[in-house]
Amino acid sequence: PMGSERMEMRKRQMSTTQETPGAAQAQHSTGNRGSNACCFCWCCCCSCSCLTVRNQDEERARRTSHELQAEGIPNCEESPAPTLEEVNAWAQSFDKLMFTPAGRNAFREFLRTEFSEENMLFWMACEELKRESNKSVIEEKARLIYEDYISILSPKEVSLDSRVREVINRNMLDPSQHTFDDAQLQIYTLMHRDSYPRFMNSAIYKDLLRSLSEKSIEA
């Protein structure tokens, strides 16, 4: 009986020794797959859906940057420093604020703090489109404006009612300098009624007015 037990133990040891390389290889293979797997699954990274989504987001960010450059919209309009008279005039009407680059820059800085800068960007893009005369350039810029500010898939979509959206969709069949006129007016009105009063009471406007007033007194 003791001999048979020893034989049985030896068989088990030999069986374990033979299985070890295969098990180690399987574990090594699993380890490699795990190191290449993404955060949500154990599939190969190159075909994983979550990585595809991440790549699409990165591509969208690159496309947006490229389109802004193509539209000719700078991060900040070039303009001379505003005078005290100009800044006081901004309080008289929204039209006077929007008339000068310095006014638009100050208002745009405020809109950025409210996460609604896309309204000014859209308005500026429409103004840029109106200055174009080349048909192919008009069509390309109209397409970029639509993708950036009208499409519901865009993170910079502006708020427009259904009637204006229908007008835009019809106009996009044959884009012109005035494809977005109704939409531009609606966004202009929105900024006037909603954002402009808050801008006049903001620290951005008051600090600028105070600074220019102090300089005027010193002079």
pLDDT digits (tens, 9 = 90+) for 157-204: 999 999 999 999 999 999 999 999 999 999 999 999 999 999 999 999
CA dihedral 53, 59, 64, 69 (to 10 degrees): 170
| Domains defined for the chain, CATH in brackets | 84-216 (1.10.167.10)
CA 105, CA 118: separation in Å to the nearest integer?
13
User: Residue 204 in 3-state DSSP?
Assistant: helix
Kindly report the backbone phi and psi dihedral angles of residue 103, in degrees, each rounded to the nearest multiple of 5, phi listed first. Answer: -65, -45
As a whole number, the mean pLDDT across the chain is: 78
Q: What is the CA radius of gyration of the chain?
A: 31
Q: What is the pLDDT of residue 15?
A: 53
Residue 131: CB partners within 8 Å, gap ≥ 6?
A: 177
Tell me which DSSP letter residue 115 carries: T
Report whether 138 contacts 176 (CB < 8 A).
yes
> What residues have CB less than 8 Å from 36, skipping those under 6 apart?
44, 45
Which of 124, 129, 84 is CA-nearest to residue 104?
124
Distance, CA of 161 to CA of 172 (rounded, Å): 17
pLDDT confidence of residue 68: 40
Q: What is the pTM of this model?
A: 0.65
Low-confidence ranges of the chain (pLDDT < 50): 2-4, 6, 16-58, 60-73
